[in-house]
Structure 1
Amino acid sequence: MADLIVSGGTVITMDGGRRVIPDGAVAVTGATIAAVGPRAEVEAAHAASRRIDARGKAILPGLIDGHAHAGHGLVKTMGSGDSAAWSEACRVIYTLASPPSFWRAEAALAGLELLKFGVTTSVMLLGGGDSIGRVDDPAHGDAHVDGINAIGIRRVMVLGPTRPPFPRPYRGADGSVRDVSFEQQAETIGTLVERHHNKGRITCATLMPVYREETHDAAKVRKIEAQGRVIRDIGSKAGAWFHQDGHRGGSIEMADRMFGLLGPDAWLSHCTDLTEADIATLVRTGTSVVHNPSAIAAVRGFCPVIEMLDRGVTVMIGSDGTAPDRSTDMFRHMFQAMRYHQRAARDEALLPPGKALEMVTIDAAKGLGMADRIGSLEVGKQADIITVELMAPHMLPANMPVHRVVYFASGGDVRDVVVGGEILMRDRVAPHVDEAAIAEAANAETARMLAQSGMAGMIVEDPGWGLTRRRG
C-alpha cells in the first residue's frame, strides 16, 4: 500500500539511465519513493490513498538552487541598477536595519517563491555572502529557519563571518548597537549549526570570505588561516559542508594553497576568469562549483563551465537570487546558462538541454553531497517530486518533452510540488500557506527596514526611458 501515486505524466527520472517514461508513475510510501515506472505497472503493484493526476504534465525530481542569499527577497530593485549602491545598502540593512522579524518574513516570502517555481531544495547564505553574514546573534538564523519551515521546502542555510576587519557594528535583536568580534560570530555560527543542522528539512554549511589580494601581509594571512580553521572545524565536527561565494581568477588556487579550505565537501560560487591553476585545483581536490549565469559576476567575468565539465568538475546552477534583479526561477537560469556559453563560444551545440537539467537536479545534488537522497526519481530516495504543464500553448506540440521543459517552461508552469512525500502545492495552490499574510508581513518589514536604514530614496524608480546606458 502506497501513500501517494503521481501518475499519467511523462516521467523524466534523472536516474542513472536518464529514463524518460511516457504515461509513467511514481509511488510514494512515507517520505520515500517506492516505485518508478510505466503507469500500468506501478498502479498494478501499488494502491494509494492519495493520487495526483499528472496527465498532460511532466513528472520530475524537485529542482535544486545551488546558491542564493537570504535577506535579498526584501531588498529587490533597490539602487535601480547601481550594483555598488545596492551592495552598500545590503551592508547597512543586514547589520543595522534587519531585526529577526525581517529574516522570518523574508524567508517565508522567498520560500513561497521557490515552492511555486518547483525548487524543493535551495541554498541560502544568511546575508550578503562573503561580505555581511547575519551571525551576530542566533535569533536571526532562528527566525530564518522558522520562516522557511512554514513553507516546507528543504534549505541549506550557509553561515559565515563577515569580511575583516573586526569588530563589526550590528544592531541586535534587542535594538541596541554593539561591536561584534570574529569570536562572537563564530560562537553564533556554532550555535546555529548545533540547533538546526540535519533537523527536519534544514541542513547547514559554513562559509569563509574569499581571499583574493594580490599582495600578502603575512600577519593578516596567518590570522585569516586561523579563522578559517575555526569555521571549517565547526562544520566538520557537525558533518556540515563548506561554501565560498565570489571566487575569481587565482583565488581558488590561493584558497587551497594558503588556507587549505577546499575538498570534496566544498562548493564554490561564481568562479569567473579562472586560471589554469584554479581549474587544476578543483580537479585535484574534488571541489564542486555553482555557476550563476544571471548574476552580475557573470557579466563582469566569464565562468568556464564547459572546460570544467570536460575535466570532470561537478558544476551546478544557482540563481544568486532573489535580488537585485533576478528571481529563483531555475528554468530561466537553465536557459540563461545555455545561451551564455553558446554565445561565448559561438557554438550552439554547447550545453544541451539534458545537461542543463542535470545541473539543477542530479548534478546539483552531487555537488551538495545529497545525491544519495535527492536529485532523481529513484526507489529509496526522498520523494521530492514536481509536475510541469506540457499542454499549454507555449509547450506544444506534444513531442520531445525534455526539450520542452528546458527551453519553453517557466516556474509558472509548475503545477504540483511534493517534498518528502508531503504535498505542498496542488494545481498551484499551497493550502498550508497564507499567501496574503506572507505578502503583508514582507511589505511591512520592508517599510520598517527602509525607515530604519534611511534608504527610502533607493526605491525611487528610474527605468532609463530613452537611454542606451543607465545614468551614473
Structure 2
Amino acid sequence: MTDILVRGGLLVTMDPARRVIEDGAVAIAGDRIVAVGPRAEVEAAHPRAATVIEAKGRAILPGLIDGHAHAGHGLVKTMGGGDSEAWSEACRIIYTTASPPSFWRAEARLAALERLRGGVTTGVSLLGGGDSIMRVDDPAHGEAHAAGVGEVGIRAIIAVGPTRPPHPRLYATWDGAKRIDHHVSFERQAEVVGTLIERLHGAQDGRLAIATLMPVYRETRHDPAEVALIERQGRIIRELGRKAGTLFHQDGHRNGSIAMAERLFGLNGPDAFYSHCTDLTEDDIESAARTGVSIVHNPTAIAQVRGHCPVPLLLQRGVTVMIGSDGTAPDRGTDMFRHMVMCARLHQRAARDERLMPPGKLLEMITIDAAKGLNMSASIGSLEPGKKADVITVDLSTPHAYPPNMPVHRLVFFAGAADVRDVIVDGRVLMRDRIVTTVDEAEVLAEAAAETEAMLDRSGLRRLIACDPGWGRVRL
C-alpha cells in the first residue's frame, strides 16, 4: 500500500545521476521512498495512494539541511541592534542565568517552525551560543529543547558540550521569581552531556540525534597547563561521543585552529564537522582533507564579514562543505535559499569570477553534500528508493520564478523559503499547501513572545531591544 504520492512536479532527485525529471513523482510507503521517476511510471506502479499531493507548477526535491545554527537564538536574535559584542554578552547572561526549560522549549518550537516553513527538514542546533556558552548545567534544558522540536516534527541534531574554561561556571535556575545560583564544574557539564546522549540520541523514532562539542582553541601562544587541560577535557567529551556513535562539532574555526585541533588535541576525524572556518591556513586545509573533517560554511554570519571561508579551494581539495544558516541570530534567519545566493556572491566577488559556485553545487551543499557531511547520506539528502521520505515541494509558478525554463537556476536564485508549499518528514506530512499540521502556529508565536518578555525581566537586558535603525547614517 502506498501511503503518499507526490506527483506532477519538476522532480529534482539529487541522486547520483542528478536526474531532473520534468513531470515526475515520488511514492512513499511508511517512512520510506519506494519509487522515484516519471509520473506515468510511478503512478502505474502505485495506483491507489492514500494521500495524493498535486505538485504541478512546483519542484519536488529532498528536504533541505541546515548544517549549523543555535538553539536559544530565536528569542534573542533582535537584541543589541547590530552591536555584536553586546549581543554576545546577552547570550552569555541569558543562556546561563535567565533561561529555564520553558524558554528552551518555546524557542525550539519557534525555530523548528521557521525551519519547517522554509523546507528545512534536518537542522543542527547548538544548545546555546555566544562564546561557547552551552546550557549544560542540567539535562532539563536540553530535554525541553528536544521536546519542542519533536512537537514540530523535523529532524534535529543537538550539539552539546562544555563551556570554555575556566570552571566552575555560574548558572542560575528559577523558582518562580526567585533566582538560585549554581557554580557548575566541567565534570558536571560532562555528566549532563552524557545524560543527554543516553536519553535523546536516537529518540523520536530516530529523528533526533546528539553531537558532542568542544570550544575551539585558537590561542597563538600556548600555555602548557592550558593545553593539557583542554586535551584532557576534549578526550573526555570525545570518548562520550565515540561510545555512543555521535558526531563531533566545533563552532568558529579560523586561522590555524583546525590544524591545532588535530596536532594538540587529536579532535579531527570523519565524524567531525566544523563551522565558519575563515582565513584558513594551508595546514588547516590539509588537515581537514586528510582526516575527513567536513566544513560548514555560514555565508551570512558575522564571521564571514571578519574573515573569509575558502569554499572553492576546500571543494577542490576534496573536503565536504555544507551550508549553515548560523541562525537565528542578530540579522539572519534559516532561509536556505537566501544562504545559497549569498554563498555564490561571496565567492564570485572574492575571485572576481561569476562562474564560481554554480546553482547545482549550491543545491548539493544543502542536500546531498550536507547529508554526507553529517554522515547521513545513506538515509537522507536525495530522492531515491529505500531512503527516508523527507520530501518538499517548492512553488515555481510565481512571477519571481518565471519564465518556466532553466529550472535548477530558478530554484536556487529566484525561489525563497516562502515558496515552500509541502513538507514531508519520515513519511509524515508536516505542512500541506503552507498549512502546518503538527502545531498551532498562533500558539507557538504567543508562547515565544511570553517567554521573551519573561527572559528580558530575568536578565535585566530590556535596554538591548531599544531600536535604532540608523536613519540617515551610513554606519551605526
Please give the range of the TM-score, normalised by the shorter of the 2 chains.
Answer: over 0.9
Partner of 1:193: 197
Is the CA contact 2:390–2:426 (under 8 Å) kept in the aligned structure 1? yes
What's the CA shift string for 1:401-425, capped at 9, x where partnerless?
A: 1111100000000000000100000
List aligned pairs for 1:12-23, cutoff 5 A.
12-23=12-23
Query: How far off is 1:172 after superposition?
Result: 2.6
Which amino acid counterpart does residue 203 of structure 2 have in structure 1?
Answer: K
Q: Alignment partner for residue 416 of structure 2, among 389, 410, 420?
A: 410
Which amino acid counterpart does residue 78 of structure 2 have in structure 1?
Answer: T
Partner of 1:147: 148
Please state if 1:284 is matched with 2:295: no
What's the CA shift string for 1:344-388, capped at 9, x where partnerless?
A: 100000000000000000000000000000000000000000000
Which amino acid counterpart does residue 186 of structure 1 have in structure 2?
Answer: A
Query: How far off is 1:129 after superposition?
Result: 5.9
Cα separation, 2, equivalents of 1:242 and 1:285: 13
Please state if 1:74 is matched with 2:75: yes
Change (3 A) 1:5 1:104: same
Partner of 1:53: 54
Cα separation, 1, equivalents of 2:97 and 2:445: 23
Please state if 1:460 is matched with 2:466: yes
| TM-score using structure 1 length | 0.99
Cα separation, 2, equivalents of 1:79 and 1:349: 37
Query: How far off is 1:77 after superposition?
Result: 1.4
Partner of 1:2: 2
Which amino acid counterpart does residue 225 of structure 1 have in structure 2?
Answer: E
SS, match of residue 253 in structure 2? strand
Query: How far off is 1:432 after superposition?
Result: 2.3
Is the CA contact 2:153–2:438 (under 8 Å) kept in the aligned structure 1? no
Percent of aligned pairs with the same amino acid: 67
Is the CA contact 2:2–2:49 (under 8 Å) kept in the aligned structure 1? yes
Partner of 2:42: 42
Partner of 2:353: 347
Partner of 2:126: 125
Partner of 1:397: 403
Cα separation, 1, equivalents of 2:115 and 2:398: 21
Is the CA contact 1:130–1:207 (under 8 Å) kept in the aligned structure 2? no
Change (3 A) 1:129 1:309: farther
What's the CA shift string for 1:141-193, capped at 9, x where partnerless?
A: 01001100010000000001111110000013654111000000000000001
Is the CA contact 1:112–1:151 (under 8 Å) kept in the aligned structure 2? yes
Which amino acid counterpart does residue 108 of structure 1 have in structure 2?
Answer: R
List aligned pairs for 1:3-402, cutoff 5 A.
3-46=3-46, 47-128=48-129, 131-172=132-173, 174=175, 175-200=179-204, 201-402=207-408
| TM-score using structure 2 length | 0.98
Larger CA deviation: 126-135 vs 105-114:
126-135
Change (3 A) 1:19 1:68: same
Partner of 2:430: 424
Is the CA contact 2:88–2:131 (under 8 Å) kept in the aligned structure 1? no
Aligned residue pairs, count: 470
Is the CA contact 2:156–2:208 (under 8 Å) kept in the aligned structure 1? yes
Cα separation, 1, equivalents of 2:4 and 2:131: 42
Change (3 A) 1:129 1:377: farther
Structure 2 residue ranges without an equivalent (≥5): none
